[in-house]
Amino acid sequence: MNRRFPASVFSRGQEPDARFTLANERTYLACIRTALAFLAGGVALELLGLELHPGLRLAASLVLMVVGMLVPALAWIGWARAERALRENKPLPASLLGATLGVAVTIAGLLLILAILLR
């Protein structure tokens, strides 16, 4: 019996070409690297003690760290949705990450611009 995790993905459809499954996994791992970069950026922003408005610097740091914690969950959901679509020979679903990352970077950037202007 094949007991691959998660069963909600691997119990569906047929095994796709391994190249597509591996590409889906590489995308997931790239998202994990992105999450690590967001976490590191948020920590560095706060710990470096840059001479910026402290409240806005903290807010930008928290935005980066929260997104760094959110991205792995969204990446996992995206991986599972794409893998199911591959297994069921359906079109790939839209990514949940693009808009999330775009909004987060925009908010953090605006907070940092304000922090620089108000220092």
pLDDT tens for each residue of 28-86: 999 999 999 999 999 999 999 889 999 999 999 999 999 999 999 999 999 999 999 99
Asked if omega into 6 is within 30° of 0 (cis), the reply is: yes
What is the distance between the alpha carbons of residues 39 and 90, in angstroms, rounded to a whole number? 34
Segments making up each domain of the chain, as ranges: 17-117
- What the block records as the tokens of 86 is 């591959």
* Amino acid sitting at position 62: L
Backbone angles phi, psi at 99, to 5 degrees: -65, -40
Alpha carbons 82 and 8: distance in angstroms, whole number: 12
Q: Which residue has the tokens 């990514």?
A: 95
Radius of gyration of the chain (CA): 19
pLDDT bucket at 107, cuts 50 / 70 / 90: very high
Report the mean per-residue pLDDT for the chain. Answer: 94
CA dist list (Å): 82 to 38, 94, 100, 115: 24, 9, 18, 39
